[in-house]
Amino acid sequence: MKLRNRNIEKLHTDEFDALIIGGGINGAATAAALSGKGAKVALIDRGDFAGSTSMHSSNLVWGGIKYMESKDFALVRKLCKSRNHLIKSYPSTVQEIRFLTTISKGFRHSPRYLWAGTWLYWLMGNAFTKRPRLLSPKNIQQEEPIIDIDGSVGGFEYSDAYLHDNDARFVFNFVRHALNYGAIAANYVESIGAERDGDVWVTKARNVMDGQSFDIRAKVLINAAGPWVDQHNALTGQKTTHQHLYSKGIHLIVPQLTDKKRVLAFFADDGRLFFVIPMGNRTCIGTTDTHMEHPEVDVTADDIAFVLENINKRLTLDKPLGQADIISTRCGVRPLAIKSDQGSDRDFQQLSRKHVIDTNSDSAHISIFGGKLTDCLNVGDEIADAVAQLGVALSDPDFRWYGEPPNAVKKQFMDQAKRMNLDAMTAATSSELLSSRLWRRYAEQAIVMLEKIRQDPSEADILIEGTEYIRCELEHARDHEMITELEDFLRRRAKVSLVVHHEQLRHSKGLKEACRVLFGDQAEERFDAYFAQHRDTAQPYTPVQEAPL
C-alpha cells in the first residue's frame, strides 16, 4: 500500500507527458513502452491492473489460425510474427505448446484440407515452431485416449504458444517494467472525466478506496480502457472512427483431465474452436462466443451447460463432467473493433481481435480499440510512435522496453541459487524447482529473494497450503506489487483463486497468515471483505489430498 499511496501523491502534484486510462494489456504495454523510451507517464485503472478482459483469456499466445478461414492472411502473418517475438523475448513465460485438433464426420472441411492449412500457417510463421502433423483416428486414440474418436475422420497437430503463469501476471509485469522506468501507476483510481485546458489534458480522478478526488495533468490522454473505451470517450467528448462490439467468453476450471502437456482443440457445436487447456494440475475448458450489448457480463447457467455439453460430447471420461467438478470460472468480454459507420449488426464471430489506434491530433487524444495479448508489443511501439508525432519528445526512442533480462543476469541468479542449494528447499509437493519458478515470476527481482532466504530459510516455506507460493513472495507482493485488495493477489498476481476451491481458501490457515503479511492490522478486515464479496457457486467442497498448484 505504501507504493500506491506514494504514487497517488505524485499523480496530483506532477505533470506528465501522457496519462493512460486503463491497466489491461494495452495500457500496461503502452506504459512500459512510453516510459522505457523516455516519456513521463502516469497509468491509472479504476480497479486492479488486468482486472477485466486481460484476466479472462485462454492463456494462449497464438497467431490467429482461425482467421485463415476468412482469408485474413495479413493479420495471421502479423500475429504469428508477434507470437514468435514473444516466445523469444520471454522464454521462461511464453512457451510453445502443441494443439491437437479432432475433426468429426460432416465437418465443413476435410482433415487433409485443414492440415494443408496448418502448413501454410506454419510457413506464415517463418517455420518457427515444430512442424504440423496429420493424424488418423487411431493416432489420436493412441496419443490422447480421453478423446472420443467415434465419428472422427482424423485430425492434425500444430504449434502455438501459451503462458506458463496466468495472463494477469503477465500484464502486471509490464506495469512493473513501467514503474522501473519511472512511470507513476496506481490501481483503484478512476477517471471521472477530462477536459482540454490549453495544451494540457486535466483529468478528474477519484481514489476508489477513500473517495477523494484530484486532478491529473498530462499533455496527451490515452484511452486504453478496454471494453469501456467508448464510455470514456463519451465522458471526454471524443468522436472516433471506430467503436466496439462485445463478445462474451467463459472458461471452466476443472480437475486435470489429461497429464499430457498439449491443448486439445475441437470445433464446438457453434462451429468455433473449443479448447481443453492444461493449467498445472487443473484443466481449463472453453470458450463461448455470445454477442453482448454491454461489457458487464456474468457466467450464466446456459454458458456452463454449453461448455459441459460440448466437452462431454468430445471426451470419453469415466464420469461426465458436471457442475460439481467446476473449481472456478473465467468470464470476460472480447472488445471487437469496428468502423463507427458499420453499425452493430455485424457477424461478430467473423470479427478479428486486431487492434486499432484512433488518434485525434487536434486534441492530443489517443484511443486503443480491440487488441489481444499476442499483439501487445506492437501496441506499445505503435502508441510510442503516435505520441512522438503529437510532439512529445522521447529521449530514447530505440530503447528495448520489453523482454526478460539478459542471459548474464539469469546466470547470476542461477549461480547464486546453486551456491546456496536453493532447489533443495523446493517443497516435495511442488511441480517445478524453486529456482525456475522464482526466475520466471520475478526475473532480476528474485535475486533479492535469494538473500532473504539465505538469511532466513523459513522464507522459502510455502505459506498457503495447496499452492506453491512461499513467504518471501508474499512479502515481495506487499512491497512491490500494489496489492490493495485480497483478490489482487489471489486472482491476478497469482492464480490461486482460479485453481483452489473457494471453500478450501475460506478455511485456509495459510491464507489468513498471508493476509497478515499483505495487510498487517487490516488482515482480518480484508479477509472477511473478500469472502463477503465472492460467493462459492460450486458444490460443497470435500477436502482431498491434492498436488499443489
Looking up residue 250, the CATH number of its domain turns out to be 3.30.9.10
Q: How many CA atoms lie within 13 A of 158 on its CB side?
A: 26
> How many angstroms separate the CA atoms of 423 and 420, rounded?
9
Average pLDDT over residues 37-61: 96
Contact 293, 507 (CB under 8 A): no
Angle formed at CA 455 by CA 451 and CA 458, multiple of 5 degrees: 105
Contact 488, 187 (CB under 8 A): yes
Do residue 448 and residue 490 come from a single domain? yes
- What CATH number does the domain containing 181 carry? 3.50.50.60
- Given a cut of 60, whether residue 267 has pLDDT beyond it is yes
Classify residue 217: in a domain, yes or no.
yes
Cβ count within 10 A of residue 46: 21
Host H or E run for residue 482: none
Do residue 313 and residue 325 come from a single domain? yes
Classify residue 140: in a domain, yes or no.
yes
Classify residue 541: in a domain, yes or no.
no
**Mean residue pLDDT across the chain:** 92
- Residue 352: pLDDT band with limits 50, 70, 90: confident
Domain, as residue range, for 186: 1-54+167-241+340-390
pLDDT digits (tens, 9 = 90+) for 183-224: 999 999 999 999 999 999 999 999 999 999 999 999 999 999
Tell me what percent of the chain is helix, strand and coil, each rounded to the nearest 5.
40, 25, 35
Do residue 300 and residue 445 come from a single domain? no
Q: What percent of the chain has pLDDT over 70?
A: 95
Classify residue 399: in a domain, yes or no.
no
What pLDDT is recorded for position 400?
A: 97
What pLDDT is recorded for position 345?
A: 52
- Given a cut of 90, whether residue 307 has pLDDT beyond it is yes
Do residue 412 and residue 503 come from a single domain? yes
- Given a cut of 90, whether residue 538 has pLDDT beyond it is no
Classify residue 402: in a domain, yes or no.
no
Do residue 332 and residue 351 come from a single domain? no
- Residue 107: pLDDT band with limits 50, 70, 90: confident
AA identity, residue 290: T
User: Residue 6 contacts by C-beta under 8 Å, 6 or more apart in sequence?
Assistant: none
pLDDT digits (tens, 9 = 90+) for 355-414: 999 999 999 999 999 988 999 999 999 999 999 999 999 999 999 999 999 999 999 999
Classify residue 546: in a domain, yes or no.
no
Average pLDDT over residues 236-264: 94
Q: Where are the alpha helices (H) located in 125-265, listed in sequence order?
A: 137-143, 167-180, 229-236
> How many angstroms separate the CA atoms of 65 and 120, rounded?
10
Which tops the pLDDT comparison, 382 or 151? 382
User: Residue 442 contacts by C-beta under 8 Å, 6 or more apart in sequence?
Assistant: 449, 473, 476
Do residue 205 and residue 331 come from a single domain? no
Pairing of strands 213-223, 365-370: parallel
Residue with C-alpha cell 478482459?
53
Q: Domain total for the chain?
A: 3
Do residue 235 and residue 374 come from a single domain? yes
